[in-house]
Chain A
């Protein structure tokens, strides 16, 4: 019998196991790969500031409690807006759908929450939504977002995956130094809409930006505003 034989021939056993487990992946994943990667019309890649904000979202792992995937049910579209479609995620590397909604879905949070709302909420969630069990993220006012790494990511996806970034996004230190003021200007625009909190004033935030550093909170809000 085949199985009695294979039990005595480890090499063939290993080969056979590999084959059996590979089948599903090949048949399920490969066929639709190219199609699923196409962006919806008009989709713009994330700005460098937004990418830096996405890194903050990843670093503090908001995915532990938040999804970014609105399912096609009326109860979901009523609550969060249009259901999500594949092409909207074309520039999401990695995807951030999440698997647990301890907090609400955020895929379209930019439609109904504003910079000041986020500012107050991230500083102290239960003050804005009584009973909230979301942690406050006050360190985001102190830590600087890593905008250089965000830029490096933009360069990488532009070159490797043809993500449509403009000519300003290029390899090397020099190109980055030239581009950096653009990022700081974007950050300043967000920060100007902020009001300041009891712990950190608006002026302090602006001062940090003027010194060439973007507080994590500013980048994060830029990212959240972009989710529409």
Chain B
């Protein structure tokens, strides 16, 4: 990865998607904070009439964070990284620019409509696949347009060998395509009933246990191809670029990439342990979840070792700090997941807040940290300005790191407490606690979690402010910085 003096890249798409990443990130976290508060203080359910209950808002939170924030982040970084590692500019192809712009506007408008539809309660009710069929079709079109752009850019590339990041984006594109299509197979009832009822309603092609299997094959791997694969793709680009260090080991990259793709898909059934899916599938889910540690840690260790001999950068450069902590949370999360997939642990952990804790150390600690670092890295290069404030980044870093730790520790305790209380029996073998006892016990942890959420959100707002100030008032720079991102003290 040498400097690319000769080529003028077109960042207009990357900028637009960066804007959406920030917008959706804020919205998603704001709603998440409200949800956390509602569980601690239920009277907060009635702020928006029927549209403001915990249950109506929860899919909004998950979908905005996944399909709004993360997917925008994936698009933004792709439109930045793609040109650079393939050594072509989007300027060279009118066609690809047009496709990209259509993708952007369709995505923007589609996302807003989808948000409204969820608020109205128009939903398929499958987790992370709530959108009803017309929105599914829009999602597919957007995705295909993005695919066209990836393939197109690859088609006109100058650099013949695809850099590691491109493998990951390619896998993200292909994986999500496959999962999304199969999981959302449904019949629109309006057309199959001779024009009766709601236009939006559909009924799943699969029923019961089958539906569960397909859904969690999807749900688990949406995490794989949305929250893991592309984010690893990002760190493979941004960490070496920011630190000026080459990726530690090519072999380890290979091993982790292909290992991840092969192993991840098998593990989906760990969401269905002790359920009515056949035992052998549950066992496969368990075994492959443990195997999954290898490729996950492979990537993370590869990143840590990339910093070999350059650890002082960790104290000097806040972006390196963000990225290294992101890798560390990734390691934590990918060891925690397999632990929860052990049958006996799963019996306690499933259905509890421990799972919520697991998701959030992954997403808050890994995904959001990585995407924010990417934006901090890209902004000065796209806008030719220095990052506005180092102090603000430092404060944000500590605030958010503390928040993540508070979040997952409180949810670990809450989850394990409740899991143990559900099964606790007295000396005669009778259940010791009524359900509501186990709810009341969680109140302090729900309060702590709410505080953590507010802290994290506050940190994100510092990030927003910092980026805003950078774009509008940051000191201008003439030469593109080669490695370390310039940050005003």
Which residues of A are at the interface with B, using a C-beta cutoff of 8 A? 3-4, 7-8, 10, 13-14, 17-18, 20-25, 28-29, 32-33, 36-37, 55, 58-65, 67, 69, 71-76, 78-79, 84-86, 88-104, 126, 129-137, 139, 143, 146, 148-153, 155-157, 159-161, 171-173, 176
Q: Which residues of B contact A14 (CB under 8 A)?
A: 170, 174
Instruction: With both chains docked as a complex, state the minimum distance between the C-beta of B212 and any C-beta of chain A, in angstroms.
Output: 5
> In the complex, which of the residues B39, B178, B196, B288 contacts A22, with contact meaning CB atoms closer than 8 Å?
B178
Q: Are A135 and B55 touching (Cβ within 8 A)?
A: yes
Q: Are A171 and B170 touching (Cβ within 8 A)?
A: no
5 closest pairs, A vs B, by CB? Answer: A89-B208, A149-B197, A24-B265, A59-B121, A152-B193
What CA separation (Å) do A94 and B49 show in the bound complex? 27
A/B interface sample: 21 pairs, CB < 8 A: A4-B161, A7-B162, A20-B262, A21-B175, A24-B262, A24-B268, A61-B56, A69-B276, A71-B350, A92-B208, A94-B215, A101-B352, A136-B46, A139-B50, A148-B196, A149-B189, A152-B190, A153-B189, A155-B189, A156-B189, A156-B192
> In the complex, which of the residues A36, A139, A161, A172 contacts B277, with contact meaning CB atoms closer than 8 Å?
A36
B141 in the interface, Cβ–Cβ < 8 Å? Answer: no
Q: Which residues of B, 30-63, contact A by the 8 Å Cβ criterion?
A: 38-39, 42, 45-46, 49-50, 53-56, 58-59
> In the complex, which of the residues B266, B356, B422 contacts A79, with contact meaning CB atoms closer than 8 Å?
B422
What CA separation (Å) do A85 and B126 show in the bound complex? 20
Main secondary structure of the interface of B (DSSP, over half): helix
What CA separation (Å) do A226 and B196 show in the bound complex? 25
B309 in the interface, Cβ–Cβ < 8 Å? Answer: no
Q: Are B208 and A36 touching (Cβ within 8 A)?
A: yes
Q: Which residues of A contact B201 (CB under 8 A)?
A: 55, 146, 149, 152-153
Q: Which residues of B contact A71 (CB under 8 A)?
A: 274-275, 347, 350
Q: Are A90 and B207 touching (Cβ within 8 A)?
A: yes
What CA separation (Å) do A196 and B374 show in the bound complex? 57
Q: Are A13 and B192 touching (Cβ within 8 A)?
A: no
Q: Are A172 and B194 touching (Cβ within 8 A)?
A: yes
Instruction: With both chains docked as a complex, state the minimum distance between the C-beta of A48 and any C-beta of chain B, in angstroms.
Output: 11
Q: Are B193 and A101 touching (Cβ within 8 A)?
A: no
Q: Are B125 and A60 touching (Cβ within 8 A)?
A: no
Q: Are A60 and B53 touching (Cβ within 8 A)?
A: yes
Q: Which residues of B contact A84 (CB under 8 A)?
A: 275-276
Centre residue among B55, B121, B277, B435 by max chain A CB count within 10 A: B55
B439 in the interface, Cβ–Cβ < 8 Å? Answer: yes
Q: What 0/1 pattern do residues 117 to 132 of B give for CB contact below 8 A with A?
A: 0000111111100000
Instruction: With both chains docked as a complex, state the minimum distance between the C-beta of A21 and any C-beta of chain B, in angstroms.
Output: 5
| Nearest A-chain residue to B253, judged by Cβ | A3
Instruction: With both chains docked as a complex, state the minimum distance between the C-beta of A72 and any C-beta of chain B, in angstroms.
Output: 7
Q: Are A148 and B197 touching (Cβ within 8 A)?
A: yes
Q: Which residues of A contact B161 (CB under 8 A)?
A: 4, 7-8
Q: Which residues of A contact B402 (CB under 8 A)?
A: none
Q: Which residues of B contact A32 (CB under 8 A)?
A: 277-278, 281
Q: Which residues of B, 199-238, contact A by the 8 Å Cβ criterion?
A: 201, 203-204, 206-215, 217, 221
Q: Are A28 and B269 touching (Cβ within 8 A)?
A: yes
Q: Which residues of B contact A58 (CB under 8 A)?
A: 121, 123-125
Given contacts A75-B422, A152-B193, contact A93 B431 (CB under 8 A): no
What CA separation (Å) do A130 and B42 show in the bound complex? 12
Q: Are A131 and B265 touching (Cβ within 8 A)?
A: no
Q: Are A97 and B355 touching (Cβ within 8 A)?
A: no
Instruction: With both chains docked as a complex, state the minimum distance between the C-beta of A158 and any C-beta of chain B, in angstroms.
Output: 10
Q: Assuming A86-B276, A92-B207, what are 10 further A-B pairs, CB within 8 angstroms?
A: A3-B258, A8-B161, A36-B278, A61-B58, A73-B347, A137-B50, A155-B194, A156-B187, A156-B193, A160-B187
| Nearest B-chain residue to A72, judged by Cβ | B274
What CA separation (Å) do A93 and B203 show in the bound complex? 6
Which residues of B are at the interface with A, using a C-beta cutoff of 8 A? 38-39, 42, 45-46, 49-50, 53-56, 58-59, 121-127, 151, 154, 160-162, 167, 170-171, 174-175, 178, 182, 187, 189-190, 192-198, 201, 203-204, 206-215, 217, 221, 254, 258, 261-262, 264-266, 268-269, 271, 274-278, 281, 284, 288, 347, 350-352, 355-356, 422-423, 425, 429-431, 435-436, 439-440
Q: Which residues of B contact A37 (CB under 8 A)?
A: 206-210
Instruction: With both chains docked as a complex, state the minimum distance between the C-beta of B279 and any C-beta of chain A, in angstroms.
Output: 11
What CA separation (Å) do A32 and B127 show in the bound complex? 23
Q: Which residues of B contact A132 (CB under 8 A)?
A: 42, 436, 439
Q: Are B266 and A28 touching (Cβ within 8 A)?
A: yes
Q: Which residues of B contact A155 (CB under 8 A)?
A: 189, 192-194, 196
Q: Are A156 and B203 touching (Cβ within 8 A)?
A: yes
Q: Are B189 and A24 touching (Cβ within 8 A)?
A: no
Q: Which residues of B contact A62 (CB under 8 A)?
A: 55
Q: Which residues of A contact B436 (CB under 8 A)?
A: 129-132
Centre residue among A13, A25, A73, A160 by max chain B CB count within 10 A: A25
Q: Are B171 and A17 touching (Cβ within 8 A)?
A: yes
What CA separation (Å) do A157 and B436 show in the bound complex? 38
What CA separation (Å) do A10 and B121 show in the bound complex? 42
What CA separation (Å) do A171 and B196 show in the bound complex? 8
Given contacts A61-B59, A102-B439, A173-B195, contact A21 B174 (CB under 8 A): yes
Q: Are B174 and A135 touching (Cβ within 8 A)?
A: no
| Nearest B-chain residue to A10, judged by Cβ | B154
Q: Which residues of A contact B196 (CB under 8 A)?
A: 148-149, 151-152, 155, 171-173, 176
Q: Which residues of A contact B350 (CB under 8 A)?
A: 71, 99
Instruction: With both chains docked as a complex, state the minimum distance between the C-beta of A143 and any C-beta of chain B, in angstroms.
Output: 8
> In the complex, which of the residues A24, A86, A103 contacts B208, with contact meaning CB atoms closer than 8 Å?
A86
Q: Which residues of B contact A139 (CB under 8 A)?
A: 49-50
| Nearest B-chain residue to A28, judged by Cβ | B281
Instruction: With both chains docked as a complex, state the minimum distance between the C-beta of B224 and any C-beta of chain A, in angstroms.
Output: 9
What CA separation (Å) do A126 and B436 show in the bound complex? 10
What CA separation (Å) do A214 and B422 show in the bound complex? 37
Instruction: With both chains docked as a complex, state the minimum distance between the C-beta of A105 and any C-beta of chain B, in angstroms.
Output: 8
Q: Which residues of A contact B355 (CB under 8 A)?
A: 99-100
| Nearest A-chain residue to B429, judged by Cβ | A74
Q: Which residues of B contact A136 (CB under 8 A)?
A: 45-46
